[in-house]
Amino acid sequence: MTAPASPAGPRAVRSEDFRLGAVIITMGNRPAELNALIESVVNQQGPAVELAVVGQGVPLPPLPAGVRSVELAENVGIPGGRNVGIELFGPNGRDVDAVLFLDDDGLLPGTDSARLLREAFTADPGLGIVSFRIADPETGVTQRRHVPRLRASDPLRSSRVTTFLGGASAVRCTVFEQAGQLPAEFFYAHEETDLAWRALDAGWAIDYRADVVLHHPTTSPARHASFFHNVARNRVWLARRNLPALFVPLYLGTWFLLTLARRPSPEALKAWWGGFLAGWREPCGARRPMRWRTVWRLTRLGRPPLI
């Protein structure tokens, strides 16, 4: 498969000339953590990383000079908020070459993350997305769910992958132009995989980089009240939007059985089932099934679109 064209065109781009922007969305309830994250971005080596902060229906605290910002009238969800942040850098982020997505309670512990990202993107013009390693700031442990591949026992091993971590990632802006932005209707859950599949279908590569680290406290995804409903609904939407018709029942059947095998509580299973039905009843956006060569590419990368 031919790699997509570099955003800079045919000429080589020096890593120091590769422009980075960072999008942070916040609910306004972590002002100290937000300030610490911003400081960790400002302290990165090399050219300054441009910053954009999106308030999800909340007023923003005072921000450093030069930070682009917007206060939305309501919480539009994680993917919707990140899309707003992308646009703060111009249409599809064109003022920069790649956009970092960072959780507002995260922190870049090293000052070399931006340099490593610039070097990665300029060394590989076909690299579209980089997923960082998330580590607990107290223990240094990386949760298995934060390694975006099936063989996740060694979080210190970097590799090509088929999805990425939404709050600890960097996306080349040309990906947005060719594959679209995050699916705002998802609100929360699986929006990264939706974009990842579209990026892979457009010919881009995704890397998990263990050396680019974001500190983030260990948490459970089920802390979100709508977790089980959204996970199920968006899983159906993911399949309906992106998979060849033959794979839709196979993919969803596999996840249905896996959910039952995990023996969720009756309350969780009720919410999950409601979301699963909603995924079929509610509109999911445009359907653009991936090419069969993308199915094969996912399979070769160790994650066929069945699980």
What pLDDT, in 10s, does the model give residues 85-135?
999 999 999 999 999 999 999 999 999 999 999 999 999 999 999 999 999
Between strands 205-215 and 127-135, the pairing is: parallel
Asked if 77 contacts 16 with a C-beta cutoff of 8 angstroms, the reply is no
**CA-based Rg of the chain, rounded to a whole angstrom?**
19
Percent of the chain with pLDDT strictly greater than 70? 94
Which pLDDT score, from 0 to 100, does residue 218 have?
A: 85
Q: What φ, ψ does residue 119 adopt, rounded to 5°?
A: -65, -40
Q: What is the pTM of this model?
A: 0.93
Between these two residues, 3 and 12, which has the higher pLDDT value? 12
Beta strands in 86-204 (DSSP E): 98-103, 127-135, 159-160, 168-172
In tens, the pLDDT along 217-273 reads 987 665 555 889 999 999 999 999 999 999 999 999 999 999 999 898 999 999 999
pLDDT confidence tier of residue 3, bands split at 50, 70 and 90: very low
